[in-house]
Amino acid sequence: MSNLSLKGPLFDDDLEIIYDGGVIVDRESIVEVGKFSKLKKKCKNVYEISSPHVLLPGFIDCHTHVCFAGSRSGEYAKKNAGISYQQILSEGGGIYDTMQKTNLASDKELKKQTVNRLNRHFFEGVLTCEVKSGYGKDFDQEIRILKTINEINSENPYDLVSTCLAAHVPPNDKNISSQDYLKSIVKDLFPQIIKDQLTNRVDIFIERNAFNINESKQFLISAKENGFTTTVHGNQFTSGGLKTAVDAGAISVDHLEVLSDEEIKYLSRSKTSAVVLPGCSLGLGLPFAPARKILDAGCQLAIATDWNPGSAPMGDLLIQASILASNQKLTNAEVFSALSFRAANVLNLKDRGTIEANKIADFIGFNISDYREILYSQGKIKPTFICKKGEVFNK
């Protein structure tokens, strides 16, 4: 997956395939990639996979909400019966419901539920995962969630990238305006996050019943002034979030289920990446983001799960990406890039996403002889071999 462009369309003929491939690893890093028959002569310790396997870079899920407690299966049934996501949220359900359940969960239970999700993700090939806060009913709870994410990161083999999403929805308190709430995040929450080094990333949900364009842009500017990398939930139900993200210099704009050709052109002239979330489309019955148009316009594109208890409860990155590929006519090269080095770029990680020298030794193996079988099986074939920072894990 090396030497491929960060932007625009890719073709399967662009993929460099090494048959009889091998990788030399020293501690956590890749030293050399080439023919196994030649490389093994340079090594004292050799791990040989005798059956046919396809080796890929470890997957990177660059947009999730997996640190939460409880379930919203009742709401899912309501949505399938025709009640809209926005109506449920306006009535105090949705995100507010998960905030309440997360608040009531003990530290131990919250951590256990989150680790269970991340362990499943890891053995399905996701070796690096972004995890947002956003289910705290107040700033103390937001801090608690970010600390939980960081604790899990320090105790487990996978790498987590934390993001502050205190600007998920306004407080369910009519005594404070959404604009004043955003100002209080900047004034009261940011200093504590910086002091405790809990994250260097900040997100905001720009949408009806969340935050409007003007207040969101000012918030993003303030976040950057405080040294944070910014990202945006935008264009999920209505337009406007994309332009705000680009104008504020956000590293990515995520969702994009509602997107005009003019907005795609605007995105293509920027350094902001598009992150599409097919799990949300499946969970809410929405159209898929126009990934084909986004790529053909020369934009950067990553694919992530949006794993959360409300709109994207499945959390299976490979199944979602495979379904999106069929719907949007994406090549294998485009999908695997969107799950590896292009997703790494969204998280500003330069040390992973490809199998080449001087990168972290993160890769996964599929027990097949043809890489095209992976998307052909629509996500049902899972990795049987996992190497995380040079350490081999088998199911």
Asked if pLDDT for residue 92 goes beyond 80, the answer is: no
pLDDT at 193: 98
pLDDT at 75: 86
pLDDT at 247: 98
pLDDT at 295: 98
- Its pTM stands at 0.96
Gyration radius from the chain CA atoms: 21
| Distance between CA atoms of residues 376 and 319, nearest Å | 10
pLDDT at 223: 98
Distances (CA, A) of 378 to 64, 150, 289, 297, 366: 21, 33, 18, 26, 14
Asked if pLDDT for residue 268 goes beyond 90, the answer is: yes
Contact, 231 vs 201, CB < 8 A?
yes
Contact, 40 vs 22, CB < 8 A?
yes
pLDDT at 301: 98
Please give the average per-residue pLDDT across 67-91, as a whole number.
86
Please give the average per-residue pLDDT across 99-125, as a whole number.
97
Asked if pLDDT for residue 173 goes beyond 90, the answer is: no
Asked if pLDDT for residue 74 goes beyond 90, the answer is: no
User: Where residue 80 falls among pLDDT bands split at 50, 70, 90?
Assistant: confident
Please give the average per-residue pLDDT across 131-146, as a whole number.
97
What string of DSSP letters covers 175-223? Answer: TS-HHHHHHHIIIIIHHHHHHHT--SEEEEEBSTTSB-HHHHHHHHHHH
Asked if pLDDT for residue 79 goes beyond 90, the answer is: no
SS3 content of the chain, % helix, strand, coil (to 5): 40, 20, 40
3-state secondary structure of 7: coil
Domains of the chain, start order: 12-55+357-393 (2.30.40.10), 59-346 (3.20.20.140)
Please give the average per-residue pLDDT across 243-269, as a whole number.
98
Spell out the residues 6+ positions from residue 130 whose beta carbon is closer than 8 angstroms to its own: 61, 62, 63, 64, 160, 161, 162, 163, 201, 304, 347
Percent of the chain at pLDDT > 70 equals 100
Query: Encoding tokens for residue 232?
Result: 């945006």
